[in-house]
Chain A
Amino acid sequence: MNKLSIKLPGLDLKNPIIPASGCFGFGREFAEYYDLSVLGSIMIKATSVEPRLGNPTPRVAETPGGMLNAIGLQNPGVDKVMATELPFLEQFNLPIIANIAGTTTEDYVTVAEKISKVANVAALELNISCPNVKEGGITFGTDALVAAELTKAVKQVSQVPVYVKLSPNVTHIVRIAKAVEEAGADGITMINTLLGMRLDLKTGKPIIANGTGGLSGPAIKPVAIRMVHDVYKAVKIPIIGMGGIMTAEDVLEFLYAGARAVAVGTANFVDPYVCPDIIEQLPEVLTKHGFDSVQDAVGFAHR
C-alpha cells in the first residue's frame, strides 16, 4: 500500500496534498510547471452562478510571514467553469473538489446542483467563509444556524459529498463545526483566512482597495493548528486542514492535530513547485518521525 494514500468521503486520494482554493486558479497556470496528476486533488477557485469581476486593485499586501488578499471571488461563472475549466482538468488523474460561493442560499444550491454532476468533480467545498465580499460568503459562516441551513440545502441537491469550509473569524469554531456536521456535512475544511488590515503610513488609508483583506501564510499556522485540534475532538466527520503550510513538516503537524488531508495555499505563490516538493519529501518526514503512513499520523496529538 502506498504510505501516502488516504480515504475521505468521495475522495480516494493517492496523497493528502491538495492546492487550496483561490491559490491555484483552475490549475492551468501550474500545469505549465508540472504534471498535476502528482497531486492528491485540486480545490478549484471559488465558482459562483454568474461571472464575477472581483475587487478593485490593490488586492494584496504583504505582512510579516504572510499576506493579505481581497481578490473578491473573481471567476468566470459556473457555466464557463463547466464548459472550459473542468474539461481541461480531465486530462489529469485527479478527483476535483469544487469550491462554490454565492450571495444567497439559492446561489449555492444552483451552483451545487450543476457542478456536482460533472464527472471529475468528486466533492464540493462550500465557501461560507470568504471575508472579501460584501454579501454572502462569511455571513453564512459566522452563524451556526445559518451555516447549518445552507449545508442542508446544498446536501439535498449535491450528487457528491459536501465539505464545509469554516471561517476562523468566529468566537466558537467548534459550534459551527458541530452545527454543519449535524446538518449533514460529509467533511470540514479549515481554516479560511483571518480578517486583517494594513495601513499606508503616508496616506493613513488601507493599502488594499477593499479596506480589509484575508490574512494567510505561515503567520496563521498556529491559529489553524489550534482550531483543527479543537474541532477534531468535537466532530466525527473528517477534516482537511489548511493555514500556512509551507513544508512537509507543516503537513505532519496538521495530521497530528487531526487533519486527514491538507490544503496548501499561499505557498503556491512563493514556490509554484511547493506541492510536488512536499509530496516528494513527505514519506521521509513520516519515517523520520516513526510513522508508516499518513493514516498512522492522523490525530497523533490526541493519543
Chain B
Amino acid sequence: MVMRKQEKMYVVSQKEIAYDIFELVLKGDLVATLSQPGQFVNVKTGDGALILRRPISICNIDHQKSELTLVYRATGAGTKVLSEKKAGEYVDILGPLGTGFDLDQIEMDNTVVLIGGGIGVPPLYETAKRLSARGNKVIAVLGFANVGDVFYEEKFKEFADVYVATMDGTKGFQGHVLDLIQEEGLDFDWVLGCGPHVMLNGIVTAYKGLKKGFLSFEERMACGTGACYACVKEMADESRTRVCKEGPVYDMNEVCYF
C-alpha cells in the first residue's frame, strides 16, 4: 500500500504578511513526499458547510524540519476560516497534487526570469530556491496592486535579483511586470510565470515561440485529483487537459490564448 497522501498537519505558525495574505507553516510526515516546485496541496478549511478543499500552491519545502509553507489570500469564506487557525492546531492536507515546474528541462547555465503576480508569487519562491541551488542565474519580477500587497521581496533576494512593480506605483516600478522587464532590458533564456490570467496571457503574447517557458494556471476545481473534470484547460492542439493533474504548470508553447 502506498503511503497515505492525506495528513492532519500541525500548525507551526500563521501570520498575516500583507493585506489579506497569510503565511501558514505546517509540520508533518507528508513533507517527505514533496519534491517538485509548483505543485499544490488541497486544504480542508475547517468550515463544516463548505465541504470542498481549497487548492493552495506550495511556497516553501523544508525537508529537514518536515515543514511546508503555504502563502494564500483569505478572501473567500473558506480561506477566512483557515486564516483563523493558530499554532498548535491541525489542518487536514491532501497532496502533493498536480504537475509542477520540471526544472530538469532547464540548462544549468540558463538565466531564468520568474514572473509572479499577486497571489501567484508563492510557488515561485521554492522554484527560485531550487534554481539558485543548481547554479542558474535567477531574476524575480514580482507584481502587486499596491505597496500593501507586497510580500516576500526580501526573501527572494537570497536567491534572485528582485524587481518589484505595483500598479499604482506605491512601490518599485509603476505598471505591469512585462513593461518593467522591457524598461530594465532584462535578458533571459527561460520565463516561469504564475499569476492572474491577464498576466499569463501577456506573457504568452510577448514570448510564445521566442523563449522557453512554463506557466502555472488557476481554474475553479472541485476534487484537485483529476477525477471530476471541472478544471479543464484547452491546449494548442485542441485537446483538453486538467489543470489539477496535467497542470497547473504547462509548457508556455503548448497552451492556448483564452
Contact = CB atoms under 8 A, between A and B. Distances in A.
Interface of A: 22-25, 28-30, 32-35, 53-54, 57-62, 64-67, 69, 71, 74, 217-218, 246, 266, 268-273
Given A62-B52, A74-B240, A29 B231 contact: no
Contacts of B233: 57
Interface of B: 1-2, 4-6, 44, 49-53, 94, 219-233, 240, 245
A25 B226 contact: yes
B240 A54 contact: yes
B157 to A, nearest CB: 37
A67 B220 contact: no
A269 B223 CA distance: 4
Contacts of B50: 62, 64
Contacts, number: 93
B227 A54 contact: no
A35 B231 CA distance: 26
Contact of B232 (A22, A57, A69): A57
A28 B229 CA distance: 13
Given A33-B5, A64-B49, A67-B51, 10 more contacts: A22-B228, A25-B227, A29-B225, A29-B227, A33-B4, A34-B1, A58-B220, A62-B51, A71-B229, A273-B4
B6 A271 contact: yes
A23 B240 contact: no
A59 B227 contact: no
Contacts of B219: 57-58
Nearest to B244: A29
Contacts of B240: 53-54, 74
A35 B228 CA distance: 19
A67 B50 CA distance: 9
6 shortest interchain CB distances as A-B pairs: A269-B223, A60-B230, A29-B226, A58-B220, A59-B230, A64-B49
